Structure 1
Amino acid sequence: MSPRRSYDQYCSAARALDVVGDRWTLLIVRELLAGPRRYTDLHADLPGVSTDVLAGRLKDMERDGLATRRRLPPPGAAFVYELTARGRELLPVLQALGAWGEAELGERRPTDALRAHWFALPLLRGLEGEGLVEVRLEEGDFHLHVGTVEGPVHGDGRAPREPDARLTLDADTAAAVARGELAVPDAVRAGRIEVTGDGTLAKELREA
């Protein structure tokens, strides 16, 4: 575990950056917003990070009270990392950073990695209300817990139960939403997002 570096400035923004300003830390938070993750899963979904850096950042996050490490009960018996309540408080920070970064996203470059669930936070910014939403993309499925205050914000794969709404879209549409060029209700009206389901969220999206 590396000693924490500090800007040594009596400023809350500087203090926050002392904790989360290192490269990869906020992206690890993004991944852990999906709930408990194994080290190998984190490494697979953070292309470009070295094993040493990832291990070091996770230890730093444990030290700083952002994440915890625990062993799953049998038959899993694997160690997982998960956010603490303090770590979950970074969700609005990541959402604000993502909204600010929409103008920087541009078109996908040939060297850009992509995971389907990286569209989870941009889609969450475009959804209101509460409920479980399943998202289907050619690149993979994931689900969103819209309006949740506890537990995972999103997760890989199909929804664990019948969702309140199911969204089917392509990567171009998801990217347009992520860039801030297309609002979710507008995409629904334009037929670029197909909405199915009988929940309140589905009905509100179809009627928006």
Structure 2
Amino acid sequence: MSRLRRMPRQPQPATRPARRRSYDQFCATARALDSVGDRWTLLIVRELLAGPRRYTDLHADLPGVSTDVLASRLKDMEQGGLAVRRRLPPPAAASVYELTEHGRGLLPVLTALARWGAPALAERRPTDAVRAHWFALPLLRAMERLTCSGTVEVRLDEGEFHLSVGEGLPGAEVYGYGPAVDADVRLVLGADVCLALGRGESTLAKAVADGGIEVRGESALADEIRGLG
């Protein structure tokens, strides 16, 4: 019987460490885009500005993103110091993602983008998804000049969310999903009013005066908003 000759083992190519794409430009804008310029990254930041979220919740509120892309972007954000993943204590026993201080520093960027993009929302397309908390950024900008601090609960036909406004709220999230645990004021309005505020076609004072915003609650913050009209 003939014996099979063993073939010499071929050397395996050395594994090269994965390298994220870079513009390789000594420019602050290019460096920023190295971190957040990929598709979906800034929208993930938008979701995490409302606080820690599970992977499944992020996927549900980012219609159109694949599971592979979402996992890849989250990994990139962890490596770039924009987000961290931590394990919730029992009985939750789930992992959540949350922004670092570096990641939360993107709020002005998202606010500016929302203001710049607001005119493009003149008409909702049949394929457009919508979530109530996506209207938080234009409302935050509309409330910049309020002097009282507190929590604002916002009720739209699309759902509810809440905002933290004013100074002196250390550790408070910028906005959150669903109704507030203990709101200082509740605002009832339509998405069209939010869009008008975002496009600069209206102001908080005008919307209150015209009846476009119904103000509910008894607090200094409620009185200030009610007094705008």
Shorter-chain-normalised TM-score: which range? Answer: over 0.9
Measure the CA separation in 2 of the matches of 1:10 and 1:195: 50
**1:182 offset after TM fit, Å?**
2.0
Measure the CA separation in 2 of the matches of 1:58 and 1:40: 12
Measure the CA separation in 2 of the matches of 1:50 and 1:117: 21
- SS of equivalent to 2:193: helix
- SS of equivalent to 2:207: helix
Q: Pick the aligned partner of 1:82 from 98, 106, 110.
A: 98
**1:96 offset after TM fit, Å?**
1.2
- SS of equivalent to 2:53: coil
Measure the CA separation in 2 of the matches of 1:178 and 1:110: 21
Q: Does residue 32 in structure 1 map to residue 48 in structure 2?
A: yes
- SS of equivalent to 2:176: strand
**1:41 offset after TM fit, Å?**
0.4
**1:90 offset after TM fit, Å?**
0.4
* CA RMSD across the alignment: 1.5
Q: Does residue 153 in structure 1 map to residue 174 in structure 2?
A: yes
Q: Does residue 66 in structure 1 map to residue 85 in structure 2?
A: no
- SS of equivalent to 2:226: helix
Measure the CA separation in 2 of the matches of 1:152 and 1:2: 34
Q: Does residue 140 in structure 1 map to residue 159 in structure 2?
A: yes
Q: Pick the aligned partner of 1:17 from 13, 28, 33.
A: 33
Percent same amino acid at aligned positions? 67
| 1:177 aligned residue | 197
Any idea what the Cα deviations from partners look like across 1:101-132, whole Å, max 9, x if unmatched? 12222221111110001001111110133210
CA distance 1:110–1:149, shift in 2 (3 Å):
farther
Unaligned 5+ runs, structure 2: 1-16
**1:175 offset after TM fit, Å?**
2.5
- SS of equivalent to 1:174: helix
Q: Does residue 193 in structure 1 map to residue 193 in structure 2?
A: no
CA distance 1:188–1:2, shift in 2 (3 Å):
farther
> Are 2:118 and 2:195, in contact at CA under 8 Å, matched by a contact in 1?
no
**1:2 offset after TM fit, Å?**
5.7
CA distance 1:12–1:149, shift in 2 (3 Å):
farther
Q: Which amino acid in structure 1 is aligned with residue 87 of structure 2? A: R
Q: Does residue 168 in structure 1 map to residue 188 in structure 2?
A: yes
Measure the CA separation in 1 of the matches of 2:135 and 2:163: 10
> Are 1:31 and 1:42, in contact at CA under 8 Å, matched by a contact in 2?
yes
CA distance 1:93–1:58, shift in 2 (3 Å):
same
Q: Pick the aligned partner of 1:55 from 58, 63, 71.
A: 71
Any idea what the Cα deviations from partners look like across 1:52-103, whole Å, max 9, x if unmatched? 0000000000000000001100000100000000000001111111111122
Any idea what the Cα deviations from partners look like across 1:169-195, whole Å, max 9, x if unmatched? 122222322333222221111001001
**1:29 offset after TM fit, Å?**
0.3
Measure the CA separation in 1 of the matches of 2:31 and 2:191: 37
Higher-Rg member (1/2): 2
